[in-house]
């Protein structure tokens, strides 16, 4: 019941700006903690070991906090509210839809909007590039921001979702293959991969089934093309649903990189209507997950 209520609350209210303008969002607090640890400990020798110790401390702290909250007299209410806050369906749909709206106004506005949700270079993007970036972000963040936290809340309650969110935040901040973070963030990156192993594939399944796509072969063929062991699954599912080729060439830090196309049979010239279609696919997948959660509750 807690998961069902949390999913509905998030879908209805999303991220109320009036609240988070007054107090820091839990994810912001997690980010501040990890940033402070990065500045304090990511130096000198044994950075890989220090990163592992940090990961253990983060997991233990998040799990312990979730357990402590569970001992409060009003724990069920707090757990549902925190879970709703840590889910991101409404905010994801709003951010992706904003790219479509901006792109309809002008290409420069579309570039500016998509720059808020992706890490690649946007200054020279064409309309098709903006579209692909928005759709890929929608697919990946459906897994990371909605399905995975919901999955771990269903499995482990509040400790489960708190552990997932802090590990995912650590991966996004320090889990990079850069000289500074390659060693220190390795443990966080690998554990995040493990925690997303099932949710990423579940996301792909939900996207396909909720959109009526029943041929698993393109997904199984294209998902392993991604450099991430998990991010390729939702992308490979959403691409044939939209009949839109994803991935392909893109620029990072001024360097053009060629990635293999996902669903290369699809259209290469997408536009705002494809972003809108992607958002509708997100909601269909969310709806199917909600129905599954309700079905399990009734059983």
pLDDT tens digits, one per residue of 205-262? 999 999 999 999 999 999 999 989 999 999 999 999 999 999 999 988 888 888 999 9
DSSP characters for the chain?
-HHHHHHHHHHHH---HHHHTTS--HHHHHHHHHHHHHHHHSSSS-HHHHHHHHHHHHHHHHHHHHHHHTTSTTHHHHHHHHHHHH--HHHHHHHHHHHHHHHHH-HHHHHHHHTTT--S--TT--HHHHHHHHHHHHHHHHIIIIIHHHHHHHHHHHHHHHHHHHHHHHHHHH--SSTTTTTTTHHHHHHHHHHTHHHHHHHHHHHHHHTT----HHHHHHGGGSSSTTTHHHHHHHHHHHTB-EE--EEETTEEE--PEESTTSBS---HHHHHHHHHHHHHHHHHHHHHHHHHHH-
> Which pLDDT score, from 0 to 100, does residue 59 have?
98
> Which pLDDT score, from 0 to 100, does residue 33 have?
96
> Which pLDDT score, from 0 to 100, does residue 282 have?
98
> Which pLDDT score, from 0 to 100, does residue 16 have?
84
> Which pLDDT score, from 0 to 100, does residue 234 have?
98
Which of these, 48, 80, 81, 82, lies nearest to 62 by C-alpha position?
82
pTM above threshold 0.75: yes
Could you tell me the residue ranges of all domains in the chain? 2-298
> Which pLDDT score, from 0 to 100, does residue 134 have?
98
Q: Rounded to the nearest 5°, which phi and psi values hold at 51?
A: -65, -40
> Which pLDDT score, from 0 to 100, does residue 19 have?
81
| Residue ranges in the chain modelled with pLDDT below 50 | none
């Amino acid at each position: 019941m807690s998961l069902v209520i949390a999913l509905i609350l998030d879908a209805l209210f999303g991220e109320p700006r009036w609240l988070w303008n007054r107090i820091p969002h839990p994810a912001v607090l997690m980010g501040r903690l990890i940033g402070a640890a990065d500045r304090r400990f990511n130096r000198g020798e044994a950075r890989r070991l220090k990163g592992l110790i940090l990961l253990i401390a983060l997991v233990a702290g998040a799990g312990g906090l979730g357990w402590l909250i569970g001992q409060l007299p009003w724990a069920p209410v707090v757990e549902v509210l925190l879970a709703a806050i840590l889910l991101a369906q409404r905010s994801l749909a709003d951010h992706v839809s904003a790219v479509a709206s901006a792109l309809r106004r002008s290409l420069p506005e579309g570039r500016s909007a998509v720059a808020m949700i992706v890490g690649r270079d946007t200054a020279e993007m064409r309309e098709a590039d903006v579209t692909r970036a928005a759709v890929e972000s929608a697919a990946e963040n459906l897994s990371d921001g909605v399905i995975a936290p919901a999955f771990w809340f269903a499995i482990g309650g509040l400790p489960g979702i708190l552990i997932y969110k802090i590990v995912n935040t650590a991966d996004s901040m320090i889990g990079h293959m850069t000289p500074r973070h390659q060693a220190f963030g390795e443990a966080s990156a690998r554990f995040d991969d493990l925690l997303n192993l099932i949710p990423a594939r579940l996301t792909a399944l939900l996207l396909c089934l909720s959109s009526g796509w029943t041929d698993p072969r393109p997904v199984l063929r294209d998902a392993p093309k991604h450099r991430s062991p998990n991010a390729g699954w939702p992308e490979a599912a959403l691409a044939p649903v939209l009949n839109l080729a994803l991935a392909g060439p893109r620029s990072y830090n001024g360097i053009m990189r060629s990635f293999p196309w996902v669903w290369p049979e699809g259209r290469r010239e997408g536009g705002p209507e494809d972003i809108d279609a992607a958002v509708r696919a997100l909601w269909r997948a969310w709806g199917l997950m909600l129905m599954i959660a309700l079905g399990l509750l009734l059983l």
